[in-house]
Amino acid sequence: MHVSNSKQAATIDILAIAAHRDDVEQTCGGTLLVQQALGWSTGILDLTRGEGGTRGSAAEREAESLEAARILKVTHREALDLPDGNVQNTLENRLKVASVLRRLRPRVVLLPYWQGRHPDHYTSATLGYEACFVAGLAKADLDGAPHRPYKILYASLYADVRPTFVVDITPHIETRLASLLAYRSQYGDQPVGSGLFVPHEEIRERTLASARHFGMLAGVRYAEPFIQKEVSLVSDLLHLPVASI
């Protein structure tokens, strides 16, 4: 499968935005696989290039990210040039992200949860949301027609919060894991960063255990969690999924 990283890429249905190359694979890679299998086109926007990471270079991370994108069957992946380790919610950065949104015109945007340990992650949540707003302003200093996604969702796998909903990723769990392990510079055994990174032999166990936990909340085997800020609208009570007792 060809993964486009051209600035002339066609529009897509679902765009996952994250601070670092491999963040999407950790938090919502399975969901992208589910959506692709349903017939929706998917894409990834990495805000940084990995030049500040403990392990690996920006060039290594780029090659790994394209391999991971191929595994996840995404239509398009690209990276901005925001500084790794110093993502800021500035007007300049909002316009950079909004420009991508106008070009790709996604209906759904997936963002990191707005609280967390790494400042790049929670800053990306606010930056992404505000960029979605700016992209829809008719008089914004941007090329292209105004566009706002219909739905903005937050991947909350690493947050200690109860999810609004989970996505059943059971058929895709091994492919999701393979996309993460494509980042050999990050997850291969090596002395650099050994105190910060999960040992290679534990990655599978931890990945499956986390997905199993969220799956159990909804009666499936493996799942990924999300937060939705707005209230959902329901008309048919007899078709609500997940039994109460």
Domain segments of the chain as ranges: 14-239
In a 3-state reduction of DSSP, which class is residue 16? Answer: strand
149 — alpha (psi -120 to 50), left (phi > 0) or beta? beta
As a whole number of angstroms, the distance between CA 6 and CA 141 comes to 22
CA nearest to 135, candidates 225, 45, 208 = 45
**Whole-number Cα distances in Å, 63 to 97, 127, 190:** 22, 26, 19
As a whole number of angstroms, the distance between CA 113 and CA 134 comes to 20
CB atoms within 10 A of CB 67: 16
Give the pLDDT of residue 51.
77
Give the pLDDT of residue 202.
87
**Whole-number Cα distances in Å, 151 to 15, 159, 230:** 11, 20, 10
Give the pLDDT of residue 58.
78
Four-residue CA torsion sign, 231, 124, 210, 181: positive
Give the pLDDT of residue 4.
72
CA nearest to 82, candidates 109, 113, 58, 117 = 58
Query: Quick one: fold of 14-239?
Result: Rossmann fold (3.40.50)
Prediction pTM value: 0.91
Give the start-end residues of each E strand in the chain. Answer: 14-18, 42-46, 76-79, 108-112, 151-155, 165-168, 223-227
In a 3-state reduction of DSSP, which class is residue 120? Answer: helix
pLDDT digits (tens, 9 = 90+) for 29-61: 999 999 999 999 999 999 999 776 666 677 888
As a whole number of angstroms, the distance between CA 179 and CA 66 comes to 10
Q: Which residue numbers in the chain have pLDDT < 50?
A: 1, 192-194
As a whole number of angstroms, the distance between CA 85 and CA 21 comes to 12
pLDDT digits (tens, 9 = 90+) for 232-241: 999 999 999 9
Q: What is the DSSP letter of 71?
A: H
Instruction: Please give the distance of CA 124 from its chain centroid, rounded to a whole number.
Output: 11
Tokens, residue 227? 């937060």
Give the pLDDT of residue 9.
64
CB atoms within 10 A of CB 244: 4
The three-state DSSP-derived secondary structure of 78-94 is EECCCCCCCCCCCHHHH
